[in-house]
Amino acid sequence: MKQILTVDDSGSVRQMVSFTLRKAGHEVSEAVDGKDGLTKAGGAKFDLIVTDLNMPNMDGIQMIAAIRKLPGYSFTPILMLTTESQAEKKDAGRKAGATGWIVKPFYSDQLIAVIQKLIK
Amino acid sequence: MGTLDRARSDLQALALTAETEIGRVAGAFEDLAGHTGAMLDLAAELVGCVESDSMGAVLNEVQSLGAAARLFIQERLQATAGILETVTGEVALLRHLAHLTQGQKSVARESNSLSVLTSIEVARLGSVGSGFQYLAHELAEFSRSVTEDARVLATEADDRRQQVEEARRALGREIPRMHAEFARIEAGLGAALAVADSSFAELSRIPVQFRQCVQEIAGQIAGVVAAIQAQDITRQQIEHVQEGLTLISASFEDSAPEAAAAHACAGLNIQIYQLRAIKQTVAGWASQIQTCMGGIMRISSSELVAIGPVVLGQERELSSQLARIERLEQECLSYNESVQHALGGLSSLMELVREHLDRSKAVRDRLQLLMFNSIVEASHLGGDADAILAISQSIKRVAEEWSGITDQSAQAMQQMMEMVESTGRVMHAFSDASNDGLRTAQEQTRAGLEDLRGNVETAGRQALKMNDATARLQSRIAQAGDVGQLFDGCLSRVDAVLGSLEGLHRESGADLPRTRGRIDAAEVERIFSSSYTTEMEREVLRAALRGGPLPSLQQQLGGNDVELF
């Protein structure tokens, strides 16, 4: 069982990510935006983070860049889960330190497969 | 401007409501999915009972029992037929013995006459004939002992004949009854095995059906998960339309009137396209959620709930067959005693005949000796002993006759020995040892049925739990409310905004021929595309500028493009 943080301003998306990952046997924490995500990442050590891009207060790319500076998060897998699919956005995400990019809506089995691959 | 502000405000309210409502649906779904998962776990345990070894093993055990019961009955039928043959042979032998005893009695009478004649002759001869006194005594003794032997043998043979006749009648009655019972058991077992075989085959398909059901449910759950996320995409699209409407309002303030009208008209058209796409998307994910929820509901009518009663029925049928075989075995055990009693008498008769034969041989030897002695003595006396000589000749004839009877007794004895030997062989079928195979098969079947019963009871308990879980699931679905009504509400609000924007577009379209030449498509795309974050929105924008059809729903709900850096 791994500790996973899901960050999204949409409650229903957070619910679905949590539901899917808990069913796969993981423990999931939720954050409502980038700022909340950064705070929670600083307060505990997560094995993987799944984050949205466009969020109020702090967007996903800013949050990833900040989290990478936290101790113990240099190699933690961070997945972007967003409706965005533009190459320049993906490039920005990669530069900020994202490990991968998934375009919404996600399908449970594929999300689990990607996560299993990253936390193996 | 007023229409645009109203539309923007309506869309904002719609987005907020939709977010709240879809959150409620997502919560209800999570709860339903949890219950569905619990039901699947119960169903898996139930299927585990069906898949367990005891199900397959008991069928093999019952089949072995059927084979052992058939063999048991067939052996007894053959043995009973063999005993009937033996008994019939014994009856013939007893008749022959009766005939022999008649011959013995006749010899005894004749010997007695000879004894009397000898005594008379001894008296006539006086002191010369005193040597023949012994002969008269021996003949009298011989006659007495043969008479007694013949009487004993005749009495024994008569008793034995009555006993054997009784056994023959009993066997005559028993064979058809056993044939009938055999046919009944054969038919009963055959039918029970055929039903069990087909039921077990049906049960063996259930795990496959269950796996399909699980896959289907998993697919439906994944579908709901994807559809609920689509709401988040819709919410963003609505926000982007709101931003588009703000830009249109601003263009009226910043641009020259003619250019503003051209951009407003083109922008309105784009927002109308976006709203149509949103409407299509909402209808798509609403339908997907409803379909998937319906799929989850269908598990409640699964055949899995019916497994317990089916298996219990099989177990009862097989147990009744086992009880029937046990009853037959008990009947056979009591029958064994009477058969053993009936056949046991043959041995004692044989002993009697053997003793009789030994005595007959001794008598035959004694008679021959008497005959020689009397002839020798009579020769010494010459003409005075003619009568004694004639008596000696008669003794010789009696000795020969007796020798014939003794030979026949020996043959009868031989036949009896053969009969006893063959009886010993058939008697094995009626011994306790002959039941060993059947008894082992019965014990195995009984143990197999007990295992089966244990599994069936577990399956029954699981089925009850599944019924409870189904009731809880249905209750939760009822509490979740009518998802369809919620989505219809969303769609009607999108329709209202769409209607007002289409009206505004028609009004501005009246001036379109005049403004068309002033529309810069590239500029319009630049202005409005900046707020679109999804590829689908950009596709819709391009369709609006081209005046082409909307992208397909599948394209709109497409996602899950995974890229690892």
Å between A11 CA and nearest CA of chain B: 7
Contacts of B218 in chain A (CB under 8 A): 109
Name which of A106-115, B417-426, B501-510 the model is least confident about. B501-510
Q: Find out whether B244 and B267 touch, Cβ atoms under 8 Å.
A: yes
- Average pLDDT of every residue of chain B: 73
| Contact yes or no for B233 and A104 at CB 8 A | yes
Angle, vertex CA B14, rays to CA B12 and CA B15, nearest 5? 65
| Contact yes or no for A104 and B557 at CB 8 A | no
Whether pLDDT at A95 is above 50:
yes
Contacts of B564 in chain A (CB under 8 A): 99-100, 114, 117-118
Contacts of B35 in chain A (CB under 8 A): none
Rg (CA), chain A: 13
Name which of B92-96, B213-217, B526-530 the model is least confident about. B213-217
Contacts of B556 in chain A (CB under 8 A): none
pLDDT at B311: 60
A19, A85, A117: residue with CB nearest B225: A19
The sheet carrying B562-564 orders its strands as: A27-31, A3-7, A48-51, A78-82, A100-103, B562-564
pLDDT tens readout for residues B32-64: 666 666 666 666 666 666 565 656 666 677 677
Question: What string of H, E and C letters represents the secondary structure of B218-285?
Answer: HHHHHHHHHHHHHHHHHHHHHHHHHHHHHHHHHHHHHCCHHHHHHHHHHHHHHHHHHHHHHHHHHHHH
* Mutation target among B533, B540, B555, B557 for the A interface, most CBs of A within 10 A: B533
Q: Dig out the tokens for B61 from the structure.
A: 């055990």
Task: Kindly identify which residue of chain B lies nearest to residue A102, measuring between CA atoms.
Answer: B562
Å between A43 CA and nearest CA of chain B: 27
Q: Which residues of B209-241 are buried (b: 16+ CB within 10 A; e: fewer)?
A: ebeebeeebbebbbbbbbbbbbbbbbbbbbbbb
| Contact yes or no for A102 and B236 at CB 8 A | no
Q: State the pLDDT confidence band at A38, using cuts at 50, 70 and 90.
A: very high
Q: Which residues of B491-513 are buried (b: 16+ CB within 10 A; e: fewer)?
A: bebbeebbeebbebbeebeeebe
Q: What is the pTM of this model?
A: 0.56
A12, A84, A103: residue with CB nearest B228: A12
Interface confidence, given as ipTM, is 0.85
How buried is A56 (Cβ within 10 angstroms: 0-12 exposed, 13-18 middle, 19+ buried)? exposed
User: What is the DSSP track for A80-115?
Assistant: EEESB--HHHHHHHHHHT--EEEESSP-HHHHHHHH
Q: How many angstroms separate the CA atoms of A108 and A16, rounded?
A: 9
pLDDT tens readout for residues B282-334: 777 777 777 766 766 665 545 555 655 666 666 666 667 667 667 766 666 66
Percent of chain B with pLDDT over 70: 60
Q: At what angle do helices B53-125 and B436-480 cross, to 10 degrees?
A: 160
Distance in Å from the first CA to the final CA of chain B: 46
Whether pLDDT at B164 is above 80:
no
Å between A77 CA and nearest CA of chain B: 10
Cis? peptide before A105, omega within 30° of 0: yes
User: What is the DSSP track for B323-343?
Assistant: HHHHHHHHHHHHHHHHHHHHH
If DSSP codes are grouped into helix, strand and coil, which group holds residue A30? strand
pLDDT at A104: 84
pLDDT tens readout for residues B505-550: 776 665 544 455 556 777 777 777 777 777 778 888 888 887 888 8
- From residue B351, how far is each of A113, B156, B344, B354 by CA, in Å? 92, 11, 12, 5
Q: State the pLDDT confidence band at A76, using cuts at 50, 70 and 90.
A: very high
Task: Kindly identify which residue of chain A lies nearest to residue B231, measuring between CA atoms.
Answer: A12
pLDDT at B173: 76
Q: Find out whether B449 and B192 touch, Cβ atoms under 8 Å.
A: no
B23, B557, B564: residue with CB nearest A11: B23
Q: What is the mean pLDDT of residues B94-110?
A: 84
pLDDT at B439: 72
- From residue B9, how far is each of A39, B238, B400 by CA, in Å? 34, 11, 144
Q: At what angle do helices B307-381 and B436-480 cross, to 10 degrees?
A: 170
Q: Find out whether B416 and B353 touch, Cβ atoms under 8 Å.
A: yes
Handedness of CA B249, B254, B257, B259 (dihedral sign): negative
Q: What does the longest C-alpha to C-alpha distance in chain B come to?
A: 188
pLDDT at B1: 56
Whether pLDDT at A90 is above 70:
yes
pLDDT tens readout for residues B235-276: 778 888 878 877 777 766 655 566 666 777 778 888 888 888
Å between B16 CA and nearest CA of chain A: 11
If DSSP codes are grouped into helix, strand and coil, which group holds residue A48? strand
If DSSP codes are grouped into helix, strand and coil, which group holds residue B302? coil
pLDDT at B301: 45
Q: Residue B236 — φ and ψ, nearest 5°?
A: -65, -40
Q: Dig out the tokens for A98 from the structure.
A: 């994202």
Percent of chain B with pLDDT over 90: 0
Q: Residues of A near B (CB-CB distance < 8 A)? A: 8, 10-13, 15-16, 19-20, 23, 54, 83-86, 90, 94, 98-111, 114, 117-118
B230, B533, B563: residue with CB nearest A100: B563
pLDDT tens readout for residues B373-423: 888 877 877 777 788 888 888 888 888 888 888 888 888 878 878 877 777
Q: State the pLDDT confidence band at A34, using cuts at 50, 70 and 90.
A: very high
Residue B424, phi-psi category: left (phi > 0), alpha (psi -120 to 50), beta (remainder): alpha
Say if B554 is an interface residue toward chain A (CB within 8 Å): no
Say if B555 is an interface residue toward chain A (CB within 8 Å): no
pLDDT at B370: 81
